[in-house]
Amino acid sequence: MHAYRKDLADIALIDCVIASHYAEPTERTVVHSAPLRETPSGDAAAIRELRPGECFALLDDSVGWAWGYAGPDRRVGYIPSDALES
């Protein structure tokens, strides 16, 4: 439920976790429905479906996958980059 990996973490967690880098989330809007996945793969388990108009707190975007969190429960995962406004 917390947005951190060994290489990157949400800046809000700076006093809680150790990571190589910290990032301030950038708010993006989901433009078409897409599953939030556990890992950056179309075969990865889906956590929940993100719908158009939902906010996504973007922390990293690389190789076609955006990593961050969404929803009132701040579920952390990956969504295809093209599902977000640019």
Helix (H, G, I), strand (E, B) or coil at 14: coil
Domain 24-83: what homologous superfamily? SH3 Domains (2.30.30.40)
CB count within 10 Å of CB 23 equals 17
Strand partners, 76: 69
Q: How far is 13 from 53, CA to CA, in rounded Å?
A: 26
Q: What is the pTM of this model?
A: 0.90
Predicted pLDDT at 46:
97
Predicted pLDDT at 4:
85
The string of pLDDT tens digits covering residues 46-75 is: 999 999 999 999 999 999 999 999 988 899
For the chain, the structural domain boundaries read 24-83
Which 8-state DSSP code applies to residue 45?
Answer: P
Instruction: Write down the number of H helices and E strands in the chain.
Output: 0, 8
